[in-house]
Amino acid sequence: MSKVAPFHTNTPEYPPTHREAYHDKDTCPDGRRIKPEHRLQGTGNKKHCLECDKVS
């Protein structure tokens, strides 16, 4: 597990659980589903991803 720069997405093709949180772990399953072209830098004032919290 490595920390990466925080990113989020607003793209409607992803479920709300993916759009309502930001990700910062390269092994997060939810974050990995977000295509690079749909990633926005930063937290977007969103909550931290629960899956990123679980990944160690």
Number of domains in the chain: 1
Residue 41 domain boundaries:
12-54
pLDDT at res. 53? 86
pLDDT at res. 1? 62
Do 24 and 36 form a contact (C-beta atoms < 8 A)?
Answer: no
By the 10 Å C-beta count (0-12 exposed, 13-18 middle, 19+ buried), 6 is classed as: buried
Q: In this predicted model, what pLDDT tens digit does every residue of 1-56 receive, in sequence order?
A: 689 999 999 999 999 988 999 999 999 999 999 999 999 999 999 999 999 988 65
Q: Is 5 a member of any domain?
A: no
Q: Is 43 a member of any domain?
A: yes
- As a whole number of angstroms, the distance between CA 31 and CA 49 comes to 9
DSSP 37: G
